[in-house]
Amino acid sequence: MLVDAHIHIPACLAHSFSLSPQTIYLSSSSSIEEFRAHDSVRENPHVFFSAGIHPWSLEQLQCEQIELWAKTGAIQAIGECGIDLYTPELAVNVSRQRELFANQLAIAKAYQLPLVIHERKGFDEILQFSSELSQLPGVIFHSWNKSPEHIVALQRKNINAFFSIGSSSLRNAKKTLRNIAAIPLDHLLTETDAPFQPPAGEKLNHPGTLSSIVGALSVIKKSSRSLIEDKIRQNITNLLIKD
């Protein structure tokens, strides 16, 4: 069983990409329309749902709606949400980003749901919320490509952080080796972010690229494919399925 801890299923279906019955998915919505476009997979026992206000589209979804979904069990995680200061256009909204991130964090805490974080040049901002983040069942850093030092910083704050590796996390070979070697196996996840973040030379990402990510992890971690797969499946199951 593979795990795609961050995907946008409606956009994949729009490109006629099919889902595998051998994969657990956590599919993210940033709008009501996107959430509703999941109807065809709503009953699929391997598909889980998250919804959040993306830092790129701060007014597209309201916290009240996210809270309603959390309360009714329609979502099993909050996000993707976070801080993105990568461009001047995004950085200018930092205070609104911070405010909405805090609000979503509060919902995740109230309903004890994991948070899916999108972060670019915003790690220090995120770390300022450490005390609240440490009270969540888990925090998934989607498309993780930072350093072992960042992992330690999160561990020191007692944040139950999970590091989700997609094809973009594997681009810089030297950095990747060091980064992935430092991720504890019980805090490792895989993702495609499909149809976004295509692998080098391709136009779109595809749910099928997951297998090559697991292959790369197995080489770097010097562990068998089946061990890596089992660990990652356990990690996502612990996060998303409540007893």
Binding site residues, Zn ion, CB under 5 A = 193
Which is closer to Zn ion, CB of 12 or CB of 161? 12
Which is closer to Zn ion, CB of 13 or CB of 153? 13
CB of residue 194 to Zn ion, shortest distance in Å = 9
Which is closer to Zn ion, CB of 84 or CB of 229? 84
Residue nearest to Zn ion (CB): 193
What is the DSSP track for the chain? -EEEEEE-HHHHHHTTPPPPTTEEEEEEESSHHHHHTTGGGTT-TTEEEEE---TT-TTSS-HHHHHHHHHTTS-SEEEEEEEE-SSHHHHTTHHHHHHHHHHHHHHHHHHT--EEEEEES-HHHHHTTHHHHTTSS-EEETT----HHHHHHHHHTT--EEEEE-GGGGSSHHHHHHHHHTS-GGGEEE---TTSSPPTT-SS--GGGHHHHHHHHHHHTT--HHHHHHHHHHHHHHHH---
CB of residue 230 to Zn ion, shortest distance in Å = 25
Which is closer to Zn ion, CB of 84 or CB of 193? 193
CB of residue 54 to Zn ion, shortest distance in Å = 8
CB of residue 154 to Zn ion, shortest distance in Å = 20
